[in-house]
Structures are given as C-alpha cells and as structure tokens.
Amino acid sequence: MVHLFIPRETREGEARVASIPETVRSLIEAGLTVSVETKAGLPAGFSDTSYQAAGADLVDSSPHAWAGADILLKLHPPTQEEAARLKKGSLVVCFFQPALNPDSAEALQGAGASVFAMERIPRTTAAQKMDALSSQANTAGYKAAVLAAATLGRWFPLMMTAAGTVKPAKVVVFGAGVAGLQAIATARRLGAQVQATDIRPEVKEQVESLGGRFIEVKMEERAGDEASVYAEEASEDYKKRQEEAVAEAVAEADVVITTALVPGAKAPILLSRERVETMAPGSVVVDLAAIQGGNCELTRKGETVIHQGVTILGPEDLAATVATHASELYARNLLQVVRHLCPEGKLTLDLEDEITGAALALHHGKVT
C-alpha cells in the first residue's frame, strides 16, 4: 500500500499545511494510507483530532516517520536535514523552485528522491484542478487588496455621511493575471474605483467584466505574433509607452497593486522612484512581485518602506497569511495530483504523461 506523510511546514512564517482532513479522507478512500505530523494543521486551523477522525495516523517528526513514506506532501521542499531522512526513491510533491531553494534541490538529488514540482504543472484544462499556482495566486491577490485597504488611511467605498461625503479610493493594478484579477475583484467589492493594465491586451475584457477600466498601451501590431498565456519581457518601446499611459492614473492613485511577473525572469520594474514620487503622501503600494525582485524600484522584499509618505509593502508570500483557505485549496490541488499519480492506488511515474512528464523535476535523484 502506498503510504503518504504530511509533515509540519518548518519554514518561518509558513502557516499552511499540504493536506486537510477532507482530503485525507479522500486519499484513504482511494486506497492509500496517511500519517500526519502532530500539530501540522494547527496554524491553519485544523486540529490533530480532525485528522484522526478522517482516518490519519498522528506521528511525531522522527526520522522514522519520514523514512516510512512513499509520498510526502508539502508546500516547500524539505530542508537538507529533512531530505536526508527520506527513503530512497520516495516522491516529494511540493513547490520545488530549485533556483530559490538550491540547498534543498541538492539534498533531494543526493537522497535519490523524485520531485513533482507543483509550479511546473502545465496550465491546461486537464490539469486545471491541480493548478496550485492559480489557487495560491488567487488567495494572494485577494489579500493584497485587503492589505492595501487596511493600510490606507482612507475608506475604499463612496460614503455619504452627515459629516460629509467620502470619495471612493482609486486603485491601479499592474498585471491582470490570476492574482491581479482577484485584486481587482476584491477592491471593486470594497467599493474602490479600479484601473488596470497588462502587457497582454486580451485581458481587457476580463478587467472590464470585473468593473475595472483597462489602461491600454498603444502599440503597433506585430505580424506573426502568437498569443501566449504568459507575458514575455517587454521591449524598451513598450516600457516607455506604458510609463506614459499609466502616469496620470498612478499620480492620482491611493493604492497601486503590482502583480506583473515574467516566468523564469526577474520581475520587470513598472513603478520607478520618480513615479512613486508623483503619488500623494498616505498612498500605498503593495508589490506582489517582491519575491522576484519587485515591480516597484523602491520595494524591499519582506519589508515596509516609506518613501516621501508613500508606504510600499513587499510581502514575500501573502497566500501563507490566509492559511485556512489557502491550505484548503492547495490540499485539493494535491489530492488531484495524487489521484493522477496513483490511479489504481499504486504509484506510477509515467514520464510520457503530459502532466507528470512536465512536472517531474527529479526522478530518482536525476534532473529530468
């Protein structure tokens, strides 16, 4: 029988857990056995007894617990010390990101482990239910708008009171991917006026359907361009035109939320120091790209910077601060991954399979 282990996440600031009682029950129904480290779910709001009631064994963090697992379900890759406890040939399912976690990557290779990297799952219809990049980006986008509202010394909605009328907050969102669209939707629900821009003009309709205004960057059509769901690095000409197109909206904004990423590259700088200096004191920037260098020139990863009265937040992982729902969504993504890899209750790593072939970053310690 395939045995799964869900350890407690040890990374500082991480409150999420890779499985919740609901998905543990489904995994057991699928013919697998599951053990969960004590207190693994507690920071996300899931008690030990709720895992036990779902059929899991509660275990401590001893090397024995790690060595007994065929599959480990995690958020972050195991540390060097944790990787050394793994049984040879075991499979770790997590956000691998070897460039950000080189020590873990080396240790997992040394341990002869296989790694199913959640960030490498193809963005296809077949894999949609496993798409943890989307589930976590969705959560981060929601929290970015809430964080901005909580930091801003103004209200988001239009409000008419006996003491006078309050104008709605003006929010500008850079990047209308999964996180950006959720930030737009949340800011709109809170009553703000929202404008957004994206290098992919095809997202205009989605922005408008959420009640936002799309800031278009006029470019000449380039013949032969193929539409891609992912942004490529912007040309110098595009950057110049974008800067001009957003200048007025940024200067008038109470809040700027930046979410623009380019897969495999440093995040583009979209908000220069000069542009921030056009914003009124008291305005707020939330930079969701901080982990990849930031979209704002003044962002410092994990810190709050105040520049001429403008607060610039560079949170490292906002999804981790909405731990209960982020864990629920991630756990459901992982349930689908395990079902895919263990169709008959037996672990099968088929490299010819479109999803497994793309996501399997290490196979028995070897880079695929």
Annotated active-site positions, please?
123, 128, 131, 134, 230
319 binds ligand NAD (CB under 6 A): no
Strand pairing partners for 194? Answer: 171
Phi/psi of residue 305, each to 5°? -115, 135
Residue 195 one-letter amino acid? Q
270 binds ligand NAD (CB under 6 A): yes
212 binds ligand NAD (CB under 6 A): no
314 binds ligand NAD (CB under 6 A): no
Site for ligand NAD in 130-149 (CB under 6 A): 131, 133-134, 137
175 binds ligand NAD (CB under 6 A): yes
* In the complex, least distance from residue 138 CB atom to ligand NAD, rounded to whole angstroms: 9
The residue among 66, 6, 64, 74 whose CA lies nearest residue 35 is 6
Q: Whose structure tokens read 């056995």?
A: 33
List the end-to-end C-alpha distance of the chain, in Å, as a whole number: 26
290 binds ligand NAD (CB under 6 A): no
227 binds ligand NAD (CB under 6 A): no
* In the complex, least distance from residue 60 CB atom to ligand NAD, rounded to whole angstroms: 37
Q: Which is nearer to ligand NAD, 202 or 350 (CB)?
A: 202
Selected range binding ligand NAD among 91-99, 161-169, 193-201, 303-311, rule: CB under 6 A: 193-201
Within 10 angstroms of residue 272's Cβ, the number of other Cβ atoms is 14
Residue 25 one-letter amino acid? R
* In the complex, least distance from residue 19 CB atom to ligand NAD, rounded to whole angstroms: 22
Q: How many residues at the interface with ligand NAD, by CB under 6 A?
A: 29
**Distance of alpha carbon 105 from alpha carbon 87, whole angstroms:** 16
219 binds ligand NAD (CB under 6 A): no
**Distance of alpha carbon 347 from alpha carbon 361, whole angstroms:** 16
102 binds ligand NAD (CB under 6 A): no
Q: Which two three-digit tokens encode residue 212?
A: 């936002």
Q: What angle do CA 293, 296, 300 make, to 5 degrees?
A: 55
241 binds ligand NAD (CB under 6 A): no
The region, left, alpha or beta by phi > 0 then psi within -120 to 50, assigned to residue 135 is alpha
Per CB under 6 A, the list member of 88, 123, 240, 266 interacting with ligand NAD is: 123
The residue among 16, 257, 259 whose CA lies nearest residue 118 is 16
Phi/psi of residue 195, each to 5°? -125, 150
327 binds ligand NAD (CB under 6 A): no
Strand pairing partners for 306? Answer: 311
Site for ligand NAD in 293-312 (CB under 6 A): none
Per CB under 6 A, the list member of 7, 78, 98, 180 interacting with ligand NAD is: 180
337 binds ligand NAD (CB under 6 A): no
Q: Which is nearer to ligand NAD, 26 or 333 (CB)?
A: 333
260 binds ligand NAD (CB under 6 A): yes
Per CB under 6 A, the list member of 71, 149, 261, 329 interacting with ligand NAD is: 261
Give residue number: closest CB to ligand NAD: 177
Q: Which is nearer to ligand NAD, 116 or 174 (CB)?
A: 174
Selected range binding ligand NAD among 36-44, 98-106, 107-115, 192-200, rule: CB under 6 A: 192-200
Q: Which is nearer to ligand NAD, 263 or 345 (CB)?
A: 263
What are the residues binding ligand NAD (CB under 6 A)? Answer: 123-124, 128, 131, 133-134, 137, 174-180, 197-200, 229-231, 234, 259-263, 268, 270
